[in-house]
Amino acid sequence: MQDYISNLEEWFLENRRILPWRKDKNPYHVWISEVMLQQTRIEAVISYYERFMKELPDIPSLANVSEDKLLKLWEGLGYYNRARNLKKAAFMIMEKYGGVFPTTYAEIIQLPGIGEYTASAISSICFGENQVTVDGNVMRVFTRFYNESSNISKDSTRVMIHDRLLSMMSFDPGCFNEGMMELGEVICIPNGMPKCDICPLKKGCLSYQNSNYYLFPVKDEKKEKEEVEMTVIIPIWEGKTLVRKRREVGLLHNLYEFPNVVGNKCVEEVRAISEEFGKVANIKKSICYTHVFTHKKWKMQAYFVFLESVNCQDMFYRISDVEEHFALPAAFSPFLYQLKEELK
């Protein structure tokens, strides 16, 4: 691969996508974008990133933001602990480094929520340090190029790829790393045929020569996710609805939700549960939506519950207030959408 690295870097410099966090090599910008990109496609991240930067343009603003506002800015991205860790790390940068982002891999990796991959990305892209980023894109390019059949789900394979790439690192580690990742995202793609005809590595690539890209990378089969049936109750009273804060621990902690219970409840059970909120006038079945988390699925059947009087008026909010002030995770957002349609 070493013989083709200059091709890779030339290709990257000519073809790289124009992205907001690539306008400069500001470590704050690279850091936030890398954390967002760990869970979401680039196209979706752009609007989140721009909104985040408008509200929290620098390390002091992130260190001082309230958790509710931070989670609202992260709403829909999932993995909310990553957002909490951003704030913790910003706080540590203020305390330990006077608000200036640390410049070495050894310092960066000490920050909360920053692992090898992110520390390598920031230190190589922003400070030119000799570090390799190894993500799924990079492993796919590497294993196809060498017809390497080691299982990429194993740490030992990741370490082997890391060490081999480090041994062939160019004089511009940031360009090398970004080039490899970009190649995996847009040319040596995960689903469907790679675009070998326009790949800067094709002359040396064994998968190209042997027409066997589909054999690589080798990885573990995905485990079946546990499926949990749930019933979601959407109380409606005078054009308002009820959302509440989730518990302080566990999945989606401290975010907001529509009331819900485990199990697929019938209308009479929904009526009985809803009496906690007020006097039920009518119940209407809404959508069934399945939300997939890393390890489990929630299969949710929702009901609109129309109330003629309520036990606590303060718990009911207008839809526009819910949208503006409460961090409602993606698992519940389809129900908010349906509610808006219902109340039109």
Residues that bind ligand SF4 (CB under 6 A): 141, 144-145, 187-188, 194, 196, 199, 201-202, 205, 207-208, 213
**Is 34 among the residues known to form the active site?**
yes
Q: Which residues contact 169 (CB under 8 A, 6 or more apart)?
A: 130, 132, 176
- Decide if 295 contacts 226 (C-beta within 8 A): yes
Please, what is the minimum distance in Å from the beta carbon of residue 40 to ligand SF4?
23
**Pairing mode, if any, of strands 226-237 and 260-262?**
antiparallel
Return the residue matching tokens 């990429």.
Answer: 152
Q: In this complex, which beta carbon is closest to ligand SF4, that of residue 18 or of residue 193? A: 193
Given 9, 10, 34, 221, the catalytic residue: 34
Q: Is 183 helix (H, G, I), strand (E, B) or coil?
A: helix
Dump the DSSP string for 273-330. HHTTTEEEEEEEEEEEEEEE-SSEEEEEEEEEEEEEEES-GGGEEEHHHHHHH----T
Within 189-279, residue ranges assigned H as helices are: 206-210, 267-274
Beta bridge partners of residue 290, listed in sequence order: 299
CA distance 305 to 281: 8
Please, what is the minimum distance in Å from the beta carbon of residue 196 to ligand SF4?
3
Q: In this complex, which beta carbon is closest to ligand SF4, that of residue 52 or of residue 213? A: 213
Phi/psi of residue 4, each to 5°?
Answer: -110, 5
Is residue 262 exposed (0-12), middle (13-18) or buried (19+ Cβ within 10 Å)? exposed
Please, what is the minimum distance in Å from the beta carbon of residue 183 to ligand SF4?
7
**Pairing mode, if any, of strands 226-237 and 296-310?**
parallel
CA distance 311 to 212: 65
- Decide if 131 contacts 119 (C-beta within 8 A): yes
Please, what is the minimum distance in Å from the beta carbon of residue 191 to ligand SF4?
13
Return the residue matching tokens 């509200």.
Answer: 55
Question: CA angle, 90 as apex, 88 and 92 as ends, to 5°?
Answer: 70
Q: In this complex, which beta carbon is closest to ligand SF4, that of residue 12 or of residue 208? A: 208
Count the neighbouring beta carbons within 10 Å of the beta carbon of residue 18. 6
Q: In this complex, which beta carbon is closest to ligand SF4, that of residue 122 or of residue 188? A: 188
Q: In this complex, which beta carbon is closest to ligand SF4, that of residue 87 or of residue 140? A: 140
Please, what is the minimum distance in Å from the beta carbon of residue 140 to ligand SF4?
8
CA distance 318 to 41: 32
Q: In this complex, which beta carbon is closest to ligand SF4, that of residue 4 or of residue 101? A: 4
Please, what is the minimum distance in Å from the beta carbon of residue 231 to ligand SF4?
46
Q: In this complex, which beta carbon is closest to ligand SF4, that of residue 198 or of residue 312? A: 198
Please, what is the minimum distance in Å from the beta carbon of residue 121 to ligand SF4?
21
Cite the active site residues: 34
